[in-house]
Amino acid sequence: MKALLSTATGGPETLVLGDLPRPTAGKGQIVIDVKACAVNFPDVLIIEDKYQFRPERPFAPGGEVAGIVAEVGEGVTGFKVGDRVLAGCGNGGMSEAVAVGVHNVYHLPEGHDFTEGASLLMTYGTSIHALVDRGHIKEGDTLLVLGASGGVGIAAVELGKAFGARVVAGVSSEAKADIARQAGADEVVVYGYQPFDKDASKALANKFKEAVGPNGANVIYDAVGGDYAEPALRSIAWEGRYLVVGFPAGIPRLPLNLTLLKSCDVAGVFWGAFVAREPERNRANIARLFQLWEQGKIKPRVTETFALADGGKAIAKLGDRSAVGKLVVTI
């Protein structure tokens, strides 16, 4: 079968279209004929051997897919050949077929296409885990979202609104500000590009403080990192929750005296490990997402699609932070 392969450590330019043996369904597995594979930031990291796990090469990137069930393994119930599904697969999604553990496979509701279905699990799964399980968000909270025009950022904005929060979006351009507003952000902060000197960092902190209001942000969702982290932390509320989601701008160094002064929590968000360790809690979160999806309160925003051979271009676009919304490889 055709697949976009990582054969050597490197960036998107190292990916090549090649062949892999077609998978078969082992015990507890389903083989999916892939129709769409969403692109996420772990795809940028995994091909450079910078992600939390390193698959044996050659492998295909792509951690979430939608498609049609082609084979059902021993012990699998609730699915049959021909079902439309979406699934998390870790890697291997940028290929014509992938074998997936049934614990992370879900029926694709009628009325939703494969590109939209492939774009739900990782971004919204990460964000609901972050906001609910780690951030303990509640109605009336103020939520500050950094990187609010990307996949996880848009998900966080939409979910924040669905949970009754006032949402402040942080983005790097006016075009991205429009996307954040369309997702429901109540207010938007447009920040410049790092690096920031001391004065620029202070100025950004003041921007965040003005936007979130005098009581500060109860929850900060940081999917950016880098020089944006400390100014955001300075705008946190008393006993606020700072959620560490990702680092496309680099791994920050937070001054821990700020956590003492605000009596706040810094909480890591590793959704992939949560799925593996707490499958039932994750499935409950996903069930809640499906309800919100059917109610129209969340909707994956697919902004661009790519052919399988051009999957590297999609990963590159995500890696240089020029992507807005979700990018999807169609097969």
The confidence score (pLDDT) of residue 17 equals: 96
* Long-range CB contact pairs, 126-129, < 8 A, 24+: 126/152, 126/155, 126/245, 126/269, 126/271, 127/152, 127/155, 127/156, 127/159, 127/221, 128/155, 128/159, 128/285, 128/288, 128/289, 129/269, 129/271, 129/274, 129/282, 129/285
The yes-or-no verdict on residue 248 having pLDDT over 90 is no
Distance CA 72, CA 63 (A): 20
Query: Which conformational region is residue 132 in: left (phi greater than 0), alpha (psi within -120 to 50 degrees), or beta?
Result: alpha
Arithmetic mean of pLDDT, 244-257: 93
**Considering the domain 123-272, what is its CATH architecture?**
Alpha-Beta Complex (3.90)
Task: Give the list of residues 6+ apart from residue 329 with CB closer than 8 angstroms, or none.
Answer: 4, 36, 37, 38, 39, 62, 93, 94, 305, 306, 307, 308, 310, 311, 314
Q: What is the pLDDT of residue 77?
A: 94
Average predicted confidence (pLDDT) for the chain = 95
- Tokens, residue 190: 């447009």
320: number of CA atoms within 13 Å, CB side? Answer: 8
For 194, residues 6+ apart whose C-beta sits below 8 A from its C-beta are 226, 227, 228, 249, 250
- What tens digit of pLDDT does each residue of 130-142 get? 999 999 999 999 9
The CA distance from 33 to 160, in Å, is 34
Residues of the chain with CATH 3.90.180.10: 2-120+300-330, 123-272
Q: Do residues 193 and 170 make contact, with C-beta atoms less than 8 angstroms apart?
A: no
Residue 272 is predicted with a pLDDT of: 87
Work out the average pLDDT over 217-223.
Answer: 98
| Confidence grade of residue 21 (pLDDT, cut at 50, 70, 90) | very high
Percent of the chain with pLDDT over 70: 100
324: pLDDT confidence band, cut at 50, 70 and 90?
A: confident
Tell me which of 8-12, 50-54, 289-293 is least confident.
Answer: 50-54
pLDDT, residue 76, reads 96
Give 34 or 111, the one with higher predicted confidence.
Answer: 34
Plot region of 320 (φ>0 → left; ψ -120 to 50 → alpha; else → beta): alpha
| Helices of type H across the chain | 41-46, 114-117, 121-128, 151-162, 174-182, 198-212, 229-233, 256-262, 271-277, 279-294, 311-319
pLDDT value, residue 320? 82
Quick one: pLDDT band at residue 322, thresholds 50, 70, 90?
Answer: confident
CATH number of 2-120+300-330: 3.90.180.10
Average pLDDT over residues 163-192: 96
Task: Return the beta strands (E) in the chain as ranges.
Answer: 2-5, 16-19, 29-38, 64-72, 84-88, 97-101, 105-107, 142-146, 166-171, 187-190, 217-222, 236-244, 265-268, 302-307, 326-330
pTM: predicted TM-score of the whole model, two decimal places: 0.89
Which of 317, 89, 320, 293 lies closest to 328 in space, CA to CA? 317
pLDDT cut 90: percent of the chain above it: 89
Q: What is the pLDDT of residues 41-72, one digit of tens each?
A: 889 999 999 887 889 999 999 999 999 999 99
In the block, tokens 């992507």 appear at 323
